[in-house]
Amino acid sequence: MIKQNIVVKIGSSSLTNEKGEIDEQKLTGYVEAIAALRKANHTVVLVSSGAVAAGFKQLGYSVRPVTLKGRQAAAAVGQSLLIQSYIKKFQEHQLTPAQILLTRSDFSNRERYRNAFSTMMELLDRGIIPIINENDTVSIKELTFGDNDMLSALVSGFIHADQLIILTDINGLYTDNPMKNPDAKKYHFLEEITDNLLAATGSDGSTMGTGGMKSKLEAAKTALSLGVSTFIGTGEGKNSLLQILQGTGDGTYITNKSFTSINTSRQWIALHSESFGKIYVDKGAEEAILFNGRSLLPAGIIEVQGAFEKGDVVEVYGDKGLLGRGEVNYSSDEVKLEMKKRREQKKVEPSIEVIHRNHWVEIK
**pLDDT category of residue 176 using cuts at 50, 70 and 90:** confident
Contact 318, 286 (CB under 8 A): yes
Q: What average pLDDT does this structure show over 116-128?
A: 95
Counting the structural domains of the chain, the total is 2
More confident: 52 or 354: 354
- Say if residue 284 is in the same domain as residue 169: no
Alpha carbon separation from 226 to 18, 62, 160, 297, 315 (Å, rounded)? 36, 40, 8, 27, 19
How high is the pLDDT of residue 145?
A: 53
Instruction: Quote the domain boundaries for residue 315.
Output: 274-362
Question: pLDDT tens digits for 232-282?
Answer: 999 988 999 999 999 999 999 999 887 777 888 899 999 889 999 999 999
Helix axes 68-91, 24-39, angle to 10 degrees: 50
Nearest to 7 by CA among 192, 219, 193: 219
Beta strands in the chain (DSSP E): 5-10, 43-48, 97-102, 129-134, 163-167, 173-174, 186-187, 189-190, 229-233, 251-254, 275-281, 301-305, 313-318, 321-328, 355-362
pLDDT at residue 346 tops 70: no
User: Could you say which of 241, 262, 283 is where a domain stops?
Assistant: 262
Do 20 and 90 share a domain, yes or no?
Answer: yes
Compute CA distances 344 → 101, 300, 339, 340, 348, whole Å.
54, 15, 9, 6, 10
Mean pLDDT of 167-178: 86
**Same domain for 287 and 246?**
no
- Least confident range of 37-41, 98-102, 106-110: 106-110
State residue 74's pLDDT score.
87
What is residue 143's predicted lDDT score, i.e. its pLDDT?
Answer: 40
Q: Which of the listed residues 262, 283, 314 is the one where a domain comes to its end?
A: 262
CATH, residue 291: 2.30.130.10
Does 269 reside within a domain?
A: no
Whether 299 and 252 map to the same domain: the answer is: no
State pTM to two decimals.
Answer: 0.85
Integer Cα distance of 49 and 52 in angstroms = 8
Residue 267 lies in a domain: no
**Is the residue at 225 inside a domain?**
yes
pLDDT at 154 over 80: yes
pLDDT of res. 203: 53
Q: Where does a domain end: 262, 297, 324? A: 262
- Residues 161, 96 within the same domain: yes
Mean per-residue pLDDT of the chain = 88
In a domain, 305, yes or no: yes
CA angle in degrees (0–180, nearest 5) for 119-85-96: 40
Structural domain contains residue 177 = yes
At 206 the pLDDT is 41
Distance of CA 274 to the CA centre of its chain: 17
Predicted local distance difference test score (pLDDT) of residue 51: 86
| Pair (310, 358) in one structural domain | yes
Q: How far apart are CA 242 and CA 229, in angstroms?
A: 15
pLDDT for the residue numbered 205 = 44
pLDDT per position as a tens digit, 280-318: 999 999 999 999 999 999 989 999 999 999 999 999 999
